[in-house]
Chain A
Amino acid sequence: MAGFFKIAIRNFLNSPTTDPYPFGETFTPENYRGIIDYTPELCIGCNTCEYVCPSGAIRVREKEDGSGISFSFWLNTCSHCGNCGYYCPTDAVFNSNDFHTARHQSEKFIPTIDDGISYVQCSNCKQKMKRPVEALLARAYEEITEEVRHQTSLCPECRRMKRFERM
């Protein structure tokens, strides 16, 4: 009990240790897994994030007009587990440090991220295809030559034809 008295007196003599948060600044740890952020430039539309999400917060679908792939994220069911960021091959999806998750009820069904990527056209047959991403190329090839660049601008069908011709 004397220990409690000592602690109480020490607290009284020192100034309060309270974080001034709602009225001032707060701290956020470096590795804090906050609201998910998304970089469309890096996304390859591979659907991995939707597959690994345990709570079904991410939805990757083809856009209705067929112009690309949409990525939508619903905050209100995200459990901040970080699986999407862990499995994303290009780090397009990642946990930011933002913790402001309090929302009004009228915003409940509004997706926090409603973005996506658009298809590019094949340089040969003008067919719509998923576009190549630098980050993925850097992982696949030691150096990105002009030939590699040319091949990635083709759709899978044309690329197969090109390879076949070369043989």
Chain B
Amino acid sequence: MFSKYATKSPWLYRINTGSCNGCDVELATTALIPRFDVERLGCKYTGSPKHADIVLVTGPVTVRSENYLIRMLNEIPDPRVIVAIGICPISGGIYRDSYSIRGPLDKHVEVDVNVSGCPVRPQSILDGVAQAIGIWKDKIKQFHEA
């Protein structure tokens, strides 16, 4: 009945798959500093993967983090949207042909939005979250029809 209002409260969850921390710092700035307040969109960073709606993945899936990434993604309830932040999860970036990379991310899971950049600008992350909210709306509808 009220499910169309559900899109006003996307909770974000961050997964770092061996990133250099550049994108993680930018993710922190979107929420934590007053200038780019992500809470205006109703977003909030959650600590647990089970509360997540929009998953922000950074880092070029390294061999060490591959298993943890897959386990973590299995714990996120549907309907969910996966956003790749930075060029590393999208294409491997400058680490593309490395022996220790098991990326890109869409080999492991269905990605919805790619936000490229190295590191990503906070405004671009806001853009990506706004696009992800649009996709999430359709996903909620599909989830309820199924």
Chain A positions near chain B (C-beta within 8 angstroms): 11, 16-19, 21-22, 26, 54-56, 74-81, 99-105, 108
State the Cβ distance, A53 to closest chain B Cβ, in Å: 10
State the Cβ distance, B69 to closest chain A Cβ, in Å: 18
> With the chains together, A56 CA to B95 CA distance in Å?
11
> With the chains together, A92 CA to B51 CA distance in Å?
48
Q: Is the CB of A55 within 8 A of B93?
A: yes
Q: Is the CB of B90 within 8 A of A77?
A: yes
B contact patch SS: helix
Residue B114 contacts which of A18, A22, A26, A105 (CB distance < 8 angstroms)? A105
Given A75-B116, A102-B115, 16 more A-B residue pairs with CB atoms under 8 Å apart are A18-B37, A21-B126, A77-B93, A78-B87, A78-B118, A79-B93, A79-B94, A79-B118, A80-B117, A101-B116, A102-B127, A102-B130, A103-B113, A103-B116, A104-B112, A104-B131
> With the chains together, A100 CA to B126 CA distance in Å?
10
Closest residue of B by beta carbon distance from A23: B40
> With the chains together, A27 CA to B128 CA distance in Å?
18
State the Cβ distance, A25 to closest chain B Cβ, in Å: 11
Of A74, A80, A101, the most chain B CB neighbours within 10 A belong to A101
Could you say which residues of chain A place their CB within 8 Å of the CB of B91? Answer: 74, 76-77
Q: What are the 10 A-B residue pairs with the smallest beta carbon separation, nearest first?
A: A79-B118, A102-B128, A102-B127, A77-B91, A55-B94, A102-B115, A101-B116, A18-B37, A76-B90, A99-B121
> With the chains together, A98 CA to B129 CA distance in Å?
18
Q: Is the CB of B35 within 8 A of A76?
A: no
Closest residue of A by beta carbon distance from B38: A22
Q: Is the CB of B112 within 8 A of A105?
A: yes
